[in-house]
Chain A
Amino acid sequence: MSEILRVGDAVPDFKLETFEPSKGDFGEISISTLKADKKWTILFFYPADFTFV
């Protein structure tokens, strides 16, 4: 995966490990699950924890 996605592209499936504050627990999230659940997704990238976001 070296190509950068552009608007209009299909997002390839990927998985992310997460911390889920609502559960106070670790989890995992994937595009395929979000698609299966028919969900809109907003990805919000930021530089680093313990800084101003």
Chain B
Amino acid sequence: MGAEVITISTDTKFVHLAWQRDEKLLEKVKYPMGSDPTGKISRMFGVYDENTGLDLRGTFIINPEGKLLNSEVNYYNMGRNIDELMRKFKANLHLAEHTNEGCPAKWKEEGDKTLAPSAKMVGKVYEALK
């Protein structure tokens, strides 16, 4: 996929090990499982729940220069859509190469229409998207 994916919870690395070995669904997992038992990193990203000591479902994309570009946080009871994560990631890659463009909401993959904001486009976004 071209990115380092790190899963993080407040469990210790020992629990990560035990869970990954125990749970058949995780047999093929290859991402590093990060451990944040003090909640320090989780607080930094605003996903630490002080009442439960658990992390909310937060996803963050950081570029190679260390800049935070995307942030999505869901409450406990809602899962994340991996297609949307991939869409954001691919859009970031495109925008890193084409710094004067923007990826509209319906942009899905390389080749889809992008916008280059300009004075001409003001009030004409509908036409530009056509």
- A→B interface (CB under 8 Å): 1-2, 4-12, 14, 16-22, 26-27, 29, 31, 34-35, 38-50, 53
Q: A40-B4, A40-B89, A41-B4 are in contact. Are A12 and B44 (CB under 8 A)?
A: yes
Looking at the assembled complex, report how far the CB atom of A20 sits from the nearest CB atom of chain B, in whole angstroms.
5
Number of A-B contacts defined by CB within 8 Å: 171
**A19/B35 in contact, CB under 8 A:** yes
Residue in B6, B30, B64 whose beta carbon sits within 8 Å of that of A35 in the complex:
B64
Closest 3 CB pairs of A and B: A19-B16, A16-B34, A40-B3
Residue from A16, A26, A35 with most neighbouring chain B CB atoms (10 Å): A16
